[in-house]
Amino acid sequence: MNNTVNSLSVNIAGVQLRNPVIAASGTFGYGREYNSIIDISLLGGICTKGLTLTPRTGNTGIRVWETPSGMMNSIGLENPGIQSFLENDLPYMRKLGPAIIANLSGAEADEYVKGAVLLNESSVDMIELNISCPNVKLGGMAFGLDPGTAAALVAAVKRVCTRKPLMIKLSPNAPSLAAVALSCIRAGADALSLVNTFKAMGIDTVSRKPIFDNISAGLSGPAIKPIALRMVWELFDTLEEMKMHVPIIGIGGITCANDALEFLMAGADAIQVGSATFANPHAMIEIINGIHDYLIDNKMPTVTEISIRTKIEG
């Protein structure tokens, strides 16, 4: 692969990734569990589990549930807290090779801002602002549904996020994803990632109770791919119409190179792989190799050429 990394390389808001394949937040931990299974250095980037200022134990009860062509999760942002991440996980992650993207969450704006201050001074390459987690009662998705609320948070975080590009992770549950996206860009977003999970639920018909203590959970996996793809396609149109160009990172149900190619054709500059890694830890490596083969087969020198969308310059 060494002589091919240049052609696969993409630049996302000033951060050079060796390829456009990034491990999605919450599905790759901090890299430790997968390090003996795959060559992590081959990945383009890793998004950390959602980090909050103080440690969180996450939700009680059942946390993951398989569904036809997907899964639901209700983890509730279990994480060791940002200080512990910086001391115990980031030094380990830095040695792995891929770009490190810190996924930042919080219960209230002040918590996000304080977290961003710490991450801004750290060696992470980028911050992904999670305004789309459906599994917490306070914060998370509550910030990502309304354009005004999202913009106020993004502006507050951007003020302290002086040294790192700020990517905003959008919710497919927003009444208008386009309106939230545009307001985030106006407030200073350097890139957009979409989508987080779809709010969903299940009922155990034997106990006659909802499966999750939190009632609802987040749906991910192949079941959401066609919807996520459509959202990326439409967001590309919106950004072109408004002449507001920021990189788009496509997420949702990507399991193979063909899925990734669809997102790259739809206008995504890079992609994230989440649930697929649980079923097949080698999925991301297979996707990188598949994109590489596609470039060779189609005589394309760079990943950018995969897009079938027309960019209006200016």
Residues labelled catalytic: 133
Q: The tokens of 45 are what? A: 């980037």
Which residue in the set 19, 59, 171, 196 belongs to the binding site for ligand FMN (CB under 6 A)? 196
CB distance 42 to 34 below 8 Å: no
Give the range of 2-10, 81-89, 106-114, 269-277 binding ligand FMN by CB under 6 A.
269-277
Q: Which is nearer to ligand FMN, 227 or 300 (CB)?
A: 227
Which residue in the set 19, 52, 59, 130 belongs to the binding site for ligand FMN (CB under 6 A)? 130
56 touches ligand FMN by CB under 6 A: no
173 touches ligand FMN by CB under 6 A: no
**What is the 8-class DSSP label of residue 89?**
I
SS (H, E, C) 14-75: CEEECCCEEECCCCCCCCCCCCCCCCHHHCCEEECCCECCCCECCCCCCCEEEECCEEEECC
Which residue in the set 59, 183, 197, 289 belongs to the binding site for ligand FMN (CB under 6 A)? 197
Q: Which residues contact 237 (CB under 8 A, 6 or more apart)?
A: none
Which residue in the set 18, 49, 164, 292 belongs to the binding site for ligand FMN (CB under 6 A)? 49
251 touches ligand FMN by CB under 6 A: yes
The nearest distance, CB 245 to ligand FMN, in angstroms, is 23
Residue with structure tokens 């003996």?
A: 36
Q: The tokens of 111 are what? A: 């918590």
Q: How many residues bind ligand FMN (CB under 6 A)?
A: 26
Residues between 215 and 234 that touch ligand FMN (CB under 6 A): 220-221, 224
Q: Going residue by residue from 89 to 108, which x/- string records binding to ligand FMN, judged by CB under 6 A?
A: --------------x-----
The nearest distance, CB 28 to ligand FMN, in angstroms, is 9
Dihedral in degrees, nearest 10, Cα atoms 57, 60, 62, 67? -70
178 touches ligand FMN by CB under 6 A: no
Burial 271-298 (b: 16+ CB within 10 A, else e): bbbbbbbbeeeebbbbbbbbbbebbeee
Rounded Cα gap, residues 84 and 82, in angstroms: 5
Q: Which is nearer to ligand FMN, 103 or 183 (CB)?
A: 103
Which residue in the set 77, 231, 264, 291 belongs to the binding site for ligand FMN (CB under 6 A)? 77
24 touches ligand FMN by CB under 6 A: yes
Rounded Cα gap, residues 146 and 77, in angstroms: 21
Q: Which is nearer to ligand FMN, 155 or 256 (CB)?
A: 256
253 touches ligand FMN by CB under 6 A: yes
Report, in angstroms and rounded to the nearest whole number, the Rg of the chain calculated over CA atoms: 18
Q: Which is nearer to ligand FMN, 33 or 241 (CB)?
A: 33
25 touches ligand FMN by CB under 6 A: yes
Please work out, in degrees rounded to the nearest 5, the angle formed at the alpha carbon of residue 159 by the alpha carbons of 104 and 151.
Answer: 70
User: Helix (H, G, I), strand (E, B), or coil: what is residue 131?
Assistant: coil
140 touches ligand FMN by CB under 6 A: no
Determine the residue type at 42: L
The nearest distance, CB 74 to ligand FMN, in angstroms, is 9
**What is the 8-class DSSP label of residue 125?**
S
Residue closest to ligand FMN when measured from CB atoms:
26
Q: Which residues bind ligand FMN (CB under 6 A)?
A: 24-27, 49-50, 73, 75, 77, 103, 130, 133, 169, 196-197, 220-221, 224, 251-254, 273-276
